[in-house]
Amino acid sequence: MADDPNPDEGWYYNTRTNQVEHHQRARAIDLLGPYPDEATAKRALEIARERTRKADAEDADWN
């Protein structure tokens, strides 16, 4: 994790470690976010599944 002198205030979910990160973050490729708070970041995988299901349903309706 890099020391960022101006970190953003978002919360991130690290898919490699399954941990929530704030300020000091891992590589972007391993992160989902930003999220507005820690509780939402903890739900990142659930949120991603919900968004995928919705997009899949919209694709099926379009086809």
Model-level pTM? 0.78
Please indicate, yes or no, if residue 50 is contained in any of the structural domains: yes
Count up the domains in the chain and report the number. 1
- pLDDT average, residue stretch 24-41: 94
Helix (H) or strand (E) holding 53: helix 44-62
- pLDDT average, residue stretch 4-8: 69
Mean pLDDT, all residues of the chain: 90
Please indicate, yes or no, if residue 6 is contained in any of the structural domains: no
Q: What is the pLDDT of residue 13?
A: 97
Please indicate, yes or no, if residue 16 is contained in any of the structural domains: yes
Asked if the model's pLDDT at residue 23 lies above 80, the reply is yes
Please indicate, yes or no, if residue 51 is contained in any of the structural domains: yes
DSSP character string of 2-36: ---SS--S-EEEETTTTEEEESS---GGGEEEEES
Please indicate, yes or no, if residue 23 is contained in any of the structural domains: yes
Please indicate, yes or no, if residue 33 is contained in any of the structural domains: yes
Please indicate, yes or no, if residue 3 is contained in any of the structural domains: no
Q: What is the pLDDT of residue 61?
A: 87
Residues spanned by the domain of 33: 11-62
Q: List the one residue out of 14, 19, 13, 16 whose CA is nearest residue 41.
A: 13
